[in-house]
């Protein structure tokens, strides 16, 4: 199969994108002039504007005032800064909520929420749905030809869920589409359990607060429905924009880590990967996450890469310093934002963008970090921003290059949601921390991996990990991958339920034949309990008694004599591993695989990632996250320091190099 040519996702921007959210409407005009001067000093070439400006553009019913936005767009143009123009639909103003009270979201308990913050809308309310299309259409009509316009930014971080009657009506329609009739719905939801059979569509409501734990299949479908409804909103705005502005890329900023947004981003990725679309993501590090602190950047990037399917993607937001809503107090150490920003670029981002350009003087985010903090240009933060801007210029030639990963970790958001549904056997078998733990273990060994979806073509990855994949309908795609020569590693309690969260007969269900293992009984462990294995390692949180049905037993439990813990099986030209517990030391397990880093022996925390152009030009990013200097045995030219790089060149602690390689 010939790979599709890599798309230029930000053709309107020269080189890599560098800038952030810019809210000049919060400032008097004289500050705007200073902003442009500082942007030039920092090398900013793009600003995301109009994210939260509904109230100024459309201050009342039928009233449209574009004067201020015209000025902002002209200001950017005069300063040589391109605009990532947002549609401002993420925050309806009070007049709108008052005029259309049914657009305010309803909580699971049934009460309607008030306005006074942001994202106060019900995704299912026709008045809101119509208003956002009108807004997008008017903006696109007006600014399609503006010379500052580089790209469109629809909404902002879609995540709102609502439980109102309008939501109920849309949910019923979505379910009819999915199941055809009530028999189909009752089957899928297993409503004979607790006598929940539906006899009329009108009886089907959102999963509002009820007296007991609700039906898990029902809860799961509501999450699917919510994700689809938000995606429909995005697409409705994108279509309205494309009518007037067919040649500019359109995006929306995804919140890639965790599950806060409740969106199935692999599903969203399909719609964000077409012509004139791009994957852009927001990422805020979790400061007190000691196990996986440094690899967090690589993890967010791995998922972004997975969503972009081989195309570059864009880091739309990060924080230049402490994020106030993280509890504050977690300042980035000197050099950290440089290393982290470069980390995203190393892993395929076509630039480094921030929330936000200038710190707000008021509002909830008045203490959130910014490229220009309250302390202005003499701050360490701004000085580092200037340094980064210079690096971004030096790196212009990497635009359009991509990262090839040696491995993939499988993530299915629906399976994560399945885990979140009521009635799980163990609350310690959470998927995301486990995925990140495997990712961190690979990162520490110098293995670059993507986060991929279990149903996609995985043949480009020599090794695929499925540490936590509770819900899997069938093994067809994974079998194809293994038989074709891949190595698949499956973690415990995977493949056990179908798409409706019904338990497959014959544990471990969908994967039983492929693994050649029969699980007899699950043994959920206490939080601090460990089980000893006969290779000297241990497992935590979970164990299983299991018997071979063709797989070879590699490691057994000491605590459950005669019971296997780790199985291995050759299938077709590939192989599959099954772990019936969560190994406490992933390294020992990874030693069993044929997965070598390019530079064996690099100290843990010295990260290397390569970006390659289709014509073969390649760039080795070297990020030294440690406090000791390191040597990277490569040859070429360091684009950051603009000096030659030889195999004996040292990379000082807490610094980076980007080596244009001579190969």
Binding flag, residue 84, ligand GLA (CB under 6 A): no
d(CA 441, CA 85) in angstroms, rounded, equals 39
State how far Cα 37 lies from the chain centre. Answer: 33
d(CA 282, CA 327) in angstroms, rounded, equals 18
d(CA 592, CA 569) in angstroms, rounded, equals 13
d(CA 81, CA 40) in angstroms, rounded, equals 8
Q: Phi and psi at residue 226, in whole multiples of 5°?
A: -60, -45
Min dist. Cβ of residue 353 to ligand GLA (A): 11
Nearer to ligand GLA, 128 or 355 (CB): 355
Min dist. Cβ of residue 318 to ligand GLA (A): 9
Nearer to ligand GLA, 21 or 607 (CB): 21
Binding track over 266-285 against ligand GLA, x by CB under 6 A: ----------------x---
Binding flag, residue 317, ligand GLA (CB under 6 A): yes
Min dist. Cβ of residue 160 to ligand GLA (A): 13
DSSP 649: -
Is 102 assigned a catalytic role? no
Catalytic residue chosen out of the listed positions 120, 170, 237, 317: 317
d(CA 606, CA 593) in angstroms, rounded, equals 22
Secondary structure element (H or E) that encloses residue 314, with its range: strand 313-317
d(CA 663, CA 655) in angstroms, rounded, equals 24
Q: Are 64 and 29 in contact (CB under 8 A)?
A: no
Q: Which stretch binds ligand GLA (CB under 6 A): 165-173, 210-218, 317-325, 427-435?
A: 317-325
Binding track over 156-185 against ligand GLA, x by CB under 6 A: xx----------------------------
Instruction: Please state whether beta strands 574-579 and 564-571 pair in parallel, antiparallel, or not at all (unpaired).
Output: antiparallel
Binding track over 320-359 against ligand GLA, x by CB under 6 A: ---x-x-----------------------------x----
Note if the bond before 531 is cis, omega within 30 degrees: no
State which of residues 223, 277, 368, 453 lies at the interface with ligand GLA (CB under 6 A).
368
Min dist. Cβ of residue 156 to ligand GLA (A): 5
Nearer to ligand GLA, 263 or 402 (CB): 263
d(CA 611, CA 305) in angstroms, rounded, equals 12
3-state secondary structure 63-115: ECCCHHHHHHHHHHHHCCCEEEEECCCCCCCHHHHHHCHHHCCECCCCCECCC
Instruction: Please state whether beta strands 618-624 and 606-612 pair in parallel, antiparallel, or not at all (unpaired).
Output: antiparallel
Positions 408 through 467 that interact with ligand GLA (CB under 6 A): none
Min dist. Cβ of residue 502 to ligand GLA (A): 37
Is 317 assigned a catalytic role? yes
Min dist. Cβ of residue 132 to ligand GLA (A): 17
Nearer to ligand GLA, 157 or 501 (CB): 157
Q: What is the dihedral of CA 232, 137, 356, 452, to 10 degrees?
A: 30
Binding flag, residue 230, ligand GLA (CB under 6 A): no
Binding track over 118-157 against ligand GLA, x by CB under 6 A: --------------------------------------xx
Min dist. Cβ of residue 51 to ligand GLA (A): 6
d(CA 44, CA 373) in angstroms, rounded, equals 16
Nearer to ligand GLA, 319 or 655 (CB): 319
Which residues are 518's β-sheet partners?
547
Q: Which residues are annotated as catalytic? A: 157, 317
Residues in touch with ligand GLA (CB under 6 A):
156-157, 282, 317, 323, 325, 355, 365, 368
């Amino acid at each position: 199969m010939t790979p599709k040519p890599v798309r230029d996702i930000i053709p309107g921007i020269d080189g890599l994108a560098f800038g952030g959210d810019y809210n000049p409407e919060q400032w008097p005009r004289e500050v705007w002039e200073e902003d442009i001067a500082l942007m030039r000093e920092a090398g900013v070439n793009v600003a995301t504007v109009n994210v939260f400006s509904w109230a100024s553009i459309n201050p009342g019913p039928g009233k449209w005032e574009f004067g201020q936005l015209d000025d902002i767009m002209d200001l950017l143009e005069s300063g040589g800064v391109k605009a990532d123009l947002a549609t401002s639909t993420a925050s309806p103003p009070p007049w709108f909520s008052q005029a259309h009270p049914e657009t305010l979201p309803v909580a699971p308990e049934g009460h309607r929420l008030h306005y006074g913050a942001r994202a106060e809308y019900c995704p299912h309310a026709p008045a809101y749905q119509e208003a956002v299309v009108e807004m997008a259409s008017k903006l696109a009509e007006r600014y399609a030809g503006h010379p500052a316009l580089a790209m469109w930014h629809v909404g902002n971080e879609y995540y709102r869920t609502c439980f109102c009657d309008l939501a109920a009506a849309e949910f019923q329609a979505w379910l009819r589409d999915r199941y055809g009739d009530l028999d189909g719905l009752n089957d899928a939801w297993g409503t004979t359990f607790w006598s929940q059979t539906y006899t009329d569509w009108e009886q089907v409501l959102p999963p509002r607060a009820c007296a007991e734990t609700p039906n898990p299949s029902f809860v799961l479908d509501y999450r699917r429905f919510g994700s689809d409804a938000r995606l429909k909103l995005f697409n409705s705005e994108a279509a309205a924009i494309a009518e007037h502005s067919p040649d500019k890329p359109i995006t929306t900023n995804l919140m890639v880590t965790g599950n806060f947004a409740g969106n199935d981003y692999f599903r969203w990725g399909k719609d964000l990967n077409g012509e004139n679309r791009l994957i852009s993501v927001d990422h805020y590090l979790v400061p007190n996450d000691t196990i996986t602190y440094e690899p967090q950047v690589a993890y967010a990037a791995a998922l972004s890469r997975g969503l972009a399917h081989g195309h570059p993607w864009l880091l739309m937001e990060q924080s230049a310093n402490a994020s106030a809503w993280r509890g504050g107090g977690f300042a980035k150490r000197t050099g950290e934002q440089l290393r982290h920003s470069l980390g995203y670029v190393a892993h395929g981002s076509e630039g480094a963008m921030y929330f936000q350009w200038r710190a707000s003087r008021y509002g909830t985010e008045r203490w959130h970090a910014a490229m220009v903090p309250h302390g202005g240009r003499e701050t360490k933060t701004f000085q580092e921003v200037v340094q980064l801007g210079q690096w971004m210029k030096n790196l212009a030639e990497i635009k359009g290059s991509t990262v090839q990963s040696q491995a993939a970790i499988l993530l299915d958001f629906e399976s994560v949601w399945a885990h979140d549904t009521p009635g799980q056997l163990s609350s310690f078998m959470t998927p995301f921390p486990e995925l990140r733990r495997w990712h961190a273990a690979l990162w520490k060994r110098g293995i670059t991996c993507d986060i991929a979806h279990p149903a996609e073509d995985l043949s480009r990855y020599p090794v695929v990990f499925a540490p936590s994949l509770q819900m899997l309908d069938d093994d067809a795609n994974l079998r194809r991958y293994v038989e074709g020569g891949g190595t698949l590693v499956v973690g415990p309690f995977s493949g056990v339920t179908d798409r409706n969260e019904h338990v497959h007969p014959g544990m471990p269900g969908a994967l039983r034949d492929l693994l050649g293992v029969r699980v007899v009984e699950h043994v959920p462990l206490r939080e601090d309990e460990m089980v000893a294995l006969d290779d000297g390692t241990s497992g935590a949180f979970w164990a299983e008694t299991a018997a071979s049905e063709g797989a070879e037993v590699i490691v057994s439990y000491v605590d459950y004599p005669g019971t296997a813990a780790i199985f291995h099986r050759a299938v077709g030209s590939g192989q599959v591993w099954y772990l019936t517990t969560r190994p406490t030391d992933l390294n020992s397990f990874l030693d069993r695989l044929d997965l070598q880093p390019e530079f064996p022996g690099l100290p843990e925390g010295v990260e290397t990632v390569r970006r390659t152009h289709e014509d073969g030009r390649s760039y080795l990013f070297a990020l030294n996250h440690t406090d000791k200097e390191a040597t990277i045995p490569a040859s070429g030219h360091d684009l950051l320091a603009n000096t030659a790089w030889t195999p004996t060149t040292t990379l000082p602690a807490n610094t980076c190099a980007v080596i244009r390689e001579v190969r």
